[in-house]
Chain A
Amino acid sequence: MSVVWRPPRKLLPFLVLFLCMVSALVVVAQQGEIPAAAPVQSSAVDDTGMTEITADSVEEQPAVAPAVDETQPVAQVAEPAAAEPAPAAPAVETAPVTQETQPAQAVAEPAAPAAPAESPAAAPTAAVETPAAPAAPVAQAEPATEAAKTSETASATEPSVAVAVAEPAAAPAPAVEEMYYFDMKRANVLVIIITLMAFVTYYTFHAQRGKELFIRRISGLSALEDAVGRATEMGRGVLYIPGIMDMDDIQTIAGVTIMGHVAKKTAEYDTPLYAPMTRSFVMSVAQEVVKQAYLEKGRPDAFRPDRINYLTDDQFGYVAGVGGIMMREKPAACFYLGTFYAESLILAETGNAVGAIQIAGTAEPSQIPFFVAACDYTLIGEELFAASAYLSKNPREVGSLKGQDMIKLIIIVFMIIGTLLVTISKTEYASGTVFVSLAENFMRLLK
């Protein structure tokens, strides 16, 4: 440990982790079997036998003479590909990036385990079942013999005709299906989930032992109680919409969770709570949550299930109905917390027209700007999921927030390292140096 600077104890695990990663990369790069500075672009034909199609590969198709066929006035074979490199250039330039950033995207958007995601290695199976053959343009409804002759001529003269489909394999691969228990292609997802859970568990225990964990102020959530209070003072109601998707959407669950907190406030202040729903299942859950909230506050008599009702599944039919409710009931506070799409601005503007204070929250990036422009407070992305922890101050939930923040820090570090490595490896100074192989192996780690 240097006497000039001693790193804080809390940062030590991260430093160790970072050094281990860098060391691992260096060790891997120095191994002979992984070629340094190998092109990151995929080869034209991979082991599945399928051609990866880009504009570049379309250009590379050899020129094919149009078939002459008196019964078929339409030429069936591809015309010589026009050599126009300019439009293909963007595709070529970005092709190396495809391999690198696609896995990054897979990391950035991890599918919830319950959601159907990429299929496992069905690709090799599919490829094996499909015999490699040149793709032919569709046969016209003409005598098959003529077509067969034409295509035979075409395939005899040119090995590959059209863009799509596998190129003829030199030696057909034996149809052996690998049986494995664990899909290694998804290993990086598992690593991220395990790391996240490790941090969440650590900080949850930390919080449960009584340590105070700081959460920054989220103004939208702090204003929740004030908004309900304002509605009570004005003698008007509160409108709550937990999004327009069904209960299988995690944002809807977050929205319903916050609805419970809002319902406790409305029970306490005896403020009418209107909650029109677009899904019947969400209506049932919401009724139960609100009923429980009213029971906890000792106000079961004030619970009105009729106000938590189903309107319609149709997006714009629903927003028309909610608009009508807003114009008639004139709520003083409107909460939009969940998944929203095109109807977000319509709701927000209608709420503004009736003079309501509006608090919105969604993880849909395309709708956040509309809510930010039109609502008084907006919860952006993750803040929606933090709401439950923020409002309840439950140590377990607060600890999980902290764990999430740590994994975000790691992702940021990875992004910075990856960006630096790839940027340096692309410069002329880096050719032949360790940076190129480091960049490659770093990207391979993320794949």
Chain B
Amino acid sequence: MLFIKRTVPLIITFVTGIIMIIAFFSGPALPTIKSLEEVFPKWIQIIMSFTMVLGAFSLLRINLHKISRKADGWGYSLVLIIGFVTMATLGFLSGSWPMFEKEVIVGQKYYLLSENSQSSKPVTVSKVEKDAEGNVLVEVTPEGLTTPERAPSDRLKGGFMNMVNSLQQILFVGVFKNGQATMFSLLAFFVASASFRAFRVKSKEAGLLMGAAFIVMLGNVPIGNLVSKYLAYIPFIGQYLDIALIKEWIMAYPSSAAQSAILIGAMLGVISASMKIIFGVERSHLGGES
């Protein structure tokens, strides 16, 4: 068991790591190895996709258990399960429906989805043809109009699929996208509260940080130019107090120097950690001894 849980992963890590390193440095004279540089990441993506099933089952199991025991917060679990099942069902239906779609029938009424799939209009099919690529194109006449228009056949939906699509759009655009934007907008408030709580001038360095932060914050917004205008009245040094310019200098030099330094250090750490993992020195992620 230990052989499978520890030794085999170490061997696989070592072999694939060395192959990838060789692939990185190899030239066109080694086409098979070179092609692995692009193929391996795709294999990783495919393998990772299977683990989605693991996560989904874990999620469902834990929350169903919570609902069955009526544990604290079981209402949230119920909402989660309903949302999960609804979105999954709608997604599977709209994704797999083409397998069951019959051929487009001339004269039949369908719904033509807009290009962004967020709306649809009732149409009647007047012609079906294939283009040079073999794609099926249809000529449709919208209800209440006489001018036909051409569209790819995959945008034509029957009544049921149109309803599925509408529900999906409502949930995705109306709920999910707005929920994402809401969570992101919390950052604006949290920045204010974190700044208020944490930015204390406890030392000279903290004072320097505060000054730089003020200049950058002012320089980023039009008010900075207004302030610079008034600062220009200060004799001798006023002309040099252009907040926007000073801000650009801070961003371009001290700030990016510090970022680059952190990045260099982090990347050296990444190389070293990667090498330790490839050569089996670092094993903690396999569980147990390091």
Residue among B72, B191, B194, B260 having the largest count of chain A Cβ atoms under 10 Å = B194
Q: Does B119 contact A (CB under 8 A)?
A: no
Which A residues are CB-close (under 8 A) to B54?
A: 280-281, 283-284, 310
The secondary-structure label for the interface of chain A is: helix
Check if B183 sits within 8 Å of A388, measured CB to CB: no
- The interface size of chain A toward B, counting residues with CB under 8 Å, comes to 98
Check if A408 sits within 8 Å of B265, measured CB to CB: yes
Residue of B nearest to A113 (CB): B21
Which A residues are CB-close (under 8 A) to B12?
A: none
CA distance A236 to B265 in the complex (A): 36
Q: Does B173 contact A (CB under 8 A)?
A: no
Q: Does A299 contact B (CB under 8 A)?
A: no
Check if A309 sits within 8 Å of B268, measured CB to CB: no
Which B residues are CB-close (under 8 A) to A314?
A: 180
Q: Does A132 contact B (CB under 8 A)?
A: no
Q: Give the residue of B29, B58, B187, B195 whose beta carbon is less than 8 angstroms from that of A309.
A: B58
Check if A179 sits within 8 Å of B27, measured CB to CB: yes
Q: Does B44 contact A (CB under 8 A)?
A: yes
CA distance A345 to B184 in the complex (A): 10
> Assuming A110-B267, A114-B274, A253-B277, is B287 touching A120 (CB within 8 A)?
no
CA distance A417 to B10 in the complex (A): 41
Check if B26 sits within 8 Å of A181, measured CB to CB: yes
Residue of A nearest to B282 (CB): A388
User: Closest Cβ of chain B: how far from A223's Cβ, in Å?
Assistant: 17
Q: Give the residue of B20, B44, B56, B258 whose beta carbon is less than 8 angstroms from that of A113.
A: B20
* 19 additional A-B residue pairs with CB within 8 Å, beyond A113-B24, A260-B287, A280-B58: A114-B17, A114-B20, A120-B34, A178-B28, A181-B29, A196-B268, A246-B48, A257-B285, A281-B48, A283-B58, A285-B285, A295-B288, A310-B59, A316-B180, A316-B184, A345-B187, A373-B194, A381-B269, A392-B284
Residues in A lying within 8 Å of B, measured CB to CB: 108-117, 120-122, 125, 177-183, 186, 189-190, 193, 196-197, 200, 204, 246-248, 250, 253-254, 256-257, 260, 277, 279-281, 283-285, 288-289, 291-293, 295-296, 306, 309-317, 319-320, 324, 328, 342-343, 345-346, 348-349, 352, 363, 365-366, 368, 370, 373-374, 380-382, 384-386, 388, 392, 394, 396-397, 400-401, 403-404, 407-408, 411
Residues in B lying within 8 Å of A, measured CB to CB: 16-17, 20-21, 24-30, 34, 37-38, 40-41, 44, 48, 51-56, 58-59, 62, 65, 72-73, 76, 179-180, 183-184, 186-187, 190-191, 193-195, 197-199, 258-260, 262-278, 281-282, 284-288, 290
